[in-house]
Amino acid sequence: MSEIVKEVWRTIRNKNIEELQVKYDDIKVYDTYCRDIIKNGNYRISPPLIKPSKLASKEKGGVGKDLSEGWGLNFSIGCAHGCIFCYANQIHKRRLGKLLSGIPWGKYLFVPENFDEAIAKTPWKKWEGKEVLMSATHDPYLPQLYGYARKILETALPHGVRFCIQTRSPYVLRDLDILENYKDQIRIQVSIATFNSRLYKTIEPCVVSPRDRLKIIEEFKERNIKTGVIIAPIFPPNELRPDFLEDLTGIFETLTEVRPDHVFGEILHMRGSNMRLIETSLGEKFSKAKLNEFDEIAGKTFKKLVSKYDLEGDWWPEYKKCI
């Protein structure tokens, strides 16, 4: 590609980014509050970048989530979103141990110092035609990570690797150019826990609003790129959002306008330290028995709403009783 063509391409891309920033003011706000990290640094990542993932179909030995074909790609330790319901904190702290001791979830982020080397040593052709989840333990489009995900996609997509990109960041819109060129290999998904502003500002304070996440889906839908929405984690009734049915119905009513290709749903997970963070933030405690009961109620409600609003959807039961 000549330098003139490259410069024209860069000019068009920068113009598209500027237009998106005007269209979604939350990009600027998100960029500001998502950078409040008190501990950052580097670590060495072991190639290949793609590794086995348990978020596969049951037929492949996974937990039954249709988010990959048994493969995942995580390339940072920590996540600036710091959502109180996330249990990735325990995963990261098992890996780095004392280095992260006492540092709150959402306040540390480590990126691979040997990233280029790991890309070069990953035999991308091995995963030709396979779907890979990016990412499970962090958002791949955090402001601090922008550029990392793009480099992965630029390298892997020409080799035929398929991606389920799981993000809540508007930064993914900056890569519309490359993603549109490989639309048959891409699935873009966002998650929404609630439309209730009091609740989502408490449980995920460093993420753009749920409705702005759906704007991301709309952009990709316009380009005929496969999309999905995960309604999760659905919280049991609580003081901030007493009526879960009203909340869930409101989400589905909006989804009928957006029309994602697929909708998934699941309740709050009880994992590691996340329940302590939830109890502290909400001032309420959810017992395993209560969650077990709610899992069954929410699952039946979800399935009824999927049918009522004529959407394609699957419920992920948290407890075996509901499987």
Q: In CATH, what number is assigned to the domain containing residue 40?
A: 3.80.30.30
- Rounded to the nearest 10 degrees, the angle between the axes of helix 244-258 and helix 288-308 is 40
pLDDT 10s digits, 78-122: 999 999 999 888 888 877 777 788 888 888 998 999 999 999 999
Q: What is the pTM of this model?
A: 0.87
Q: Are 126 and 49 in contact (CB under 8 A)?
A: no
Q: Which two tokens stand for residue 18?
A: 């500027």
Strand partners, 28: none
Domain of 10 in residue numbering reads as: 3-322
- The residue length of the chain stands at 323
CA distance 91 to 78: 9
Q: What is the mean pLDDT of residues 161-179?
A: 95
Residue 159 neighbours by CB distance under 10 Å = 15
**In this predicted structure, what is the pLDDT of residue 99?**
77
**In this predicted structure, what is the pLDDT of residue 60?**
58
Please state the φ and ψ torsions of residue 172, each to the nearest 5 degrees.
-65, -25
Q: Return the minimum-mean-pLDDT range out of 24-33, 36-45, 51-60, 150-159.
A: 24-33
> What count of Cα atoms within 13 Å lies in the side-chain half-sphere of residue 185?
21
Q: Are 246 and 288 in contact (CB under 8 A)?
A: no
273 prior amide bond cis, ω within 30: no
How does DSSP assign 232-282, residue by residue?
EEEPPS-SSS--HHHHHHHHHHHHHHH--SEEEEEE----TTHHHHHHHHH
In this prediction, residue 57 has a pLDDT band, given cuts at 50, 70 and 90, of: low
- Of residues 273, 298, 317, 320, the one with CA closest to residue 86: 273
Domain count, the chain: 1
pLDDT 10s digits, 287-306: 889 999 999 999 999 999 99
